[in-house]
Amino acid sequence: MQAETRQTKNISQEEWDSNRRFNPEKARKLLTEAGYPVIQNGSTFSCPTFPLDKALINYNTAESNKVVAEFMQAQWKQNLGITLPLKNMEWKTFLDFRNKVQYDGIVRHAWVGDYMDPFTFLGLHYTAQNQGATGWTDPQYDKMLDDANKTVDETKRYELLARAEQYLMDQQLFIPLMTQGTNWIKKPYVKGMYPNPGTLFPWKFVYIETDPNKWDTNVNDIMKTSDAAVDEQVSRLMSSQKTSSVAE
């Protein structure tokens, strides 16, 4: 997919890799080409023509959101010579304000995957009644997702979704900023619990192991070591589903 995208856009591997790294010099160049010249003054920069009244950083009130907004503000000031104003508001007011695209500049948006599939994120910009909070909609993008979801072959479907993702990123609707990490801890005798991207635990498979010899001692291999008790429960569950399907 990467090779296909580079070929279509006529981008070398070196340039592709460079675009994925922090490059304030290129950012200043692109900003200047967009009509907002960045002027260097010794070790500092300024951009006197940039419309600050149209480029606020909007976020809902929370200390963690404030820290991120202030970090963005500091980075733009240091590397582009632009001091973006910050604007925060209470969540309920902010949600309506964001969804109706009443903001100028940048607005905070976060999403947690509801299920383990790319569509949980790609679907944010699907059809006019989407939750992307950008006001953007595109029939071609909708068709790309529709075609992917009509595809039975899993590998082919992921390829089609990857193309849709690239198409979406090319529109530059948003700036992917960060993926939050999660931490969890468990006792070694708690079995059937495994880390996963959504931090969602299937409690029906979790149990207390009374035999110390079977306790978890090597957490690095927790995803590699088979658990006979869990395997048996999963097998019974799958068997019951097949039986139910045949009965129907």
Strands lying side by side in the sheet with 86-89: 86-89, 57-60, 106-107
Same-domain check for residues 95 and 143: no
Instruction: Please give the C-alpha separations between residue 99 and each of 1, 94, 131, 132, in angstroms, as whole numbers.
Output: 32, 8, 7, 8
User: Distance (Å, rounded) from C-alpha 208 to C-alpha 91?
Assistant: 40
Same-domain check for residues 4 and 100: yes
CA of residue 224 relative to chain centroid, distance: 27
The DSSP element (H or E) to which 172 belongs, if any, is none
The whole-number pLDDT of residue 248 equals 58
The DSSP element (H or E) to which 181 belongs, if any, is none
Contact partners, residue 96, CB within 8 Å, separation at least 6:
none
Whether residue 185 lies inside any domain: the answer is no
Same-domain check for residues 34 and 131: no
**DSSP H helices in the chain:** 2-9, 13-19, 24-33, 63-80, 91-99, 119-122, 139-149, 154-170, 228-247
What would you report as the CA-atom Rg of the chain, rounded to the nearest whole angstrom? 24
Handedness of CA 169, 69, 180, 14 (dihedral sign): positive
Same-domain check for residues 86 and 34: yes
Same-domain check for residues 159 and 203: no
Same-domain check for residues 197 and 210: yes
Same-domain check for residues 49 and 75: yes
Residue 222's CB is within 10 A of a number of other CB atoms, namely: 14
User: Distance (Å, rounded) from C-alpha 123 to C-alpha 112?
Assistant: 12
Same-domain check for residues 132 and 167: yes
Number of domains in the chain: 3
The whole-number pLDDT of residue 202 equals 87
Residues in the chain, pLDDT under 70: 1-2, 244-248
| Structural domain boundaries enclosing 66 | 1-110
Same-domain check for residues 74 and 1: yes
The whole-number pLDDT of residue 38 equals 98
Read off the pTM: 0.79
The whole-number pLDDT of residue 162 equals 95
